Amino acid sequence: MRDIATFPAATFAGGCFWCLEADFSKLPGVLSAVSGYTGGHEPNPDYELVCSGESGHYEAVQVRYDPDLVDYRALVDWFWRRIDPTNSGGQFCDHGPQYRTAIFVHDAEQERQARASLAGLKSSAQLNAPVATAILPAAPFYRAEAYHQDYHKTQPQRYQSYRVGCGRDATLARLWGPEVADVLFGYVPRLPRLVEPEVELLTRLPELTVQVARREGTEPPFDNALWDEHRQGLYVDAISGAPLFSSQDKFDSGTGWPSFTRPLMPGNIITRRDTRLLAPRTEVRSWHSESHLGHVFDDGPRDPATGAHGLRYCMNSAVLRFIPLHELVGARYGRYAGLFDPEPA
């Protein structure tokens, strides 16, 4: 993808950026979450300088999101429940100015919504101490070193050990209740699940779509609409319309089904263990429509640097709708046009 910067930004400091980035990346409507440093007085800081506490920077996460799928206010409301907003000296086991919490607002409207959310939090009487989280003007954001990005994926055991050992989830459960174990607790996207009654869906959808989406069926390989589609464009949920995959991440897997190396927005899909066959598989579903889409396997294209296989999201055409690049604006997906290479005149 080319220019994610065409989407609005939201910047939050919530203690260790590994954890906050991991949680943000699971939200429907969030396109990207990047760990970095902001709010300090030294240009181009590195991790060592920030950890010294002398640069004034916060560990922060900058999110790019689709405002048609989630409002900024919903991000702020959710953020409160991923931190301890009463802790003025850090977060969980981490202490120091770099671990303070803050909401960095990018414009007057974000500030209005952030302060309205803060007022709602204070009036809810859920907390037994004053809120210490600051609302500050957005400052230059410096992307953290590469090894910090997607740490929950690249170092899953170390990440989980740190998260448990630091007491993050235990503290959140004490503050907000056991429901906070669900990363979507307190999150209200604009496009909710099951956007129309099930009975109406079943009457208007083609039989093959119903068979795949609701009965976990599989369409024939090499005999489906999108396996050999090579144009630039978006692949969206055929039921809800939520964007799921991009042609930038599509590849010819030789299987006869449309295959992708990654989803466009990780939070727009969910995975679960599928044991219906002898060998367990990982099923992929659309978060918004709860439709079965296909499965994900670890036999995707090899990483040129490491030689390791990536992922292969093997999808069914019947539950996808393809929107070519030149039709994105007319189909009301024009905000995604900047993600693609310009088409030749």
pLDDT tens digits for 118-161?
A: 999 999 878 889 999 999 999 999 999 999 999 999 999 999 99
For the chain, give the percent of residues with pLDDT over 70.
99
Residue 1 has pLDDT above 60, yes or no: no
Pair (112, 246) in one structural domain: no
User: What's the pLDDT at 307?
Assistant: 86
Pair (9, 117) in one structural domain: yes
Residue 91 has pLDDT above 90, yes or no: yes
Q: Is residue 191 part of a domain?
A: no
Average pLDDT over every residue of 90-112: 97
Residue 201 has pLDDT above 70, yes or no: yes
Q: Is residue 326 part of a domain?
A: yes
For the chain, give the percent of residues with pLDDT over 90.
87
Between 306 and 264, whose confidence is greater? Answer: 264
* 4 DSSP assignment: G
Residue 196 has pLDDT above 80, yes or no: no
Pair (131, 279) in one structural domain: no
User: What's the pLDDT at 128?
Assistant: 87
Average confidence score pLDDT of the chain? 94
Average pLDDT over every residue of 325-334: 96
Q: Is residue 301 part of a domain?
A: yes
Measured between alpha carbons, how far is 107 from 110 in angstroms, rounded to an integer? 5
E strand or H helix at 30: strand 30-38
Pair (214, 105) in one structural domain: no
User: What's the pLDDT at 86?
Assistant: 96
pLDDT tens column, 57-71? 999 999 999 999 999
User: What's the pLDDT at 39?
Assistant: 97
pTM over 0.95: no
Pair (172, 208) in one structural domain: no
* Active-site residue, selected from the candidate residues 19, 51, 93, 314: 314
Pair (148, 49) in one structural domain: yes
Pair (144, 206) in one structural domain: no
Laid out side by side, the sheet with 243-246 consists of 243-246, 233-237, 320-324
The domain boundary, picked from 150, 181, 212, lies at 181
User: What's the pLDDT at 2?
Assistant: 61
Question: Is residue 93 annotated as a catalytic residue, yes or no?
Answer: no
- Is-contact 7 30, C-beta < 8 A? no
Residue 114 has pLDDT above 70, yes or no: yes
Measured between alpha carbons, how far is 29 from 69 in angstroms, rounded to an integer? 5
Question: Is residue 166 annotated as a catalytic residue, yes or no?
Answer: no
Q: Can you point out the beta strands (E) in 70-121?
A: 90-91, 94-95, 101-105
Q: Is residue 242 part of a domain?
A: yes
Provide the domain count of the chain.
2
Q: Which structure tokens are listed for 130? A: 């004053």
Pair (177, 213) in one structural domain: no
- The owner of tokens 């989407």 is 7
Pair (217, 268) in one structural domain: yes
Pair (31, 174) in one structural domain: yes
User: What's the pLDDT at 124?
Assistant: 86
Measured between alpha carbons, how far is 38 from 45 in angstroms, rounded to an integer? 9
* Active-site residue, selected from the candidate residues 16, 51, 93, 166: 16
User: What's the pLDDT at 143?
Assistant: 97
Residue 44 has pLDDT above 60, yes or no: yes
CATH number at residue 238: 2.170.150.20
Q: Is residue 296 part of a domain?
A: yes
State the residue range of the domain holding 177.
4-181
Q: How many Cα neighbours within 13 Å face the side chain of 301?
A: 12
Q: Is residue 189 part of a domain?
A: no
Going by pLDDT thresholds of 50, 70 and 90, the confidence category of residue 345 is low
Average pLDDT over every residue of 282-296: 96
Pair (144, 251) in one structural domain: no
Pair (170, 202) in one structural domain: no
User: What's the pLDDT at 7?
Assistant: 95
Measured between alpha carbons, how far is 270 from 46 in angstroms, rounded to an integer? 34
The domain boundary, picked from 147, 181, 215, lies at 181
User: What's the pLDDT at 300?
Assistant: 95
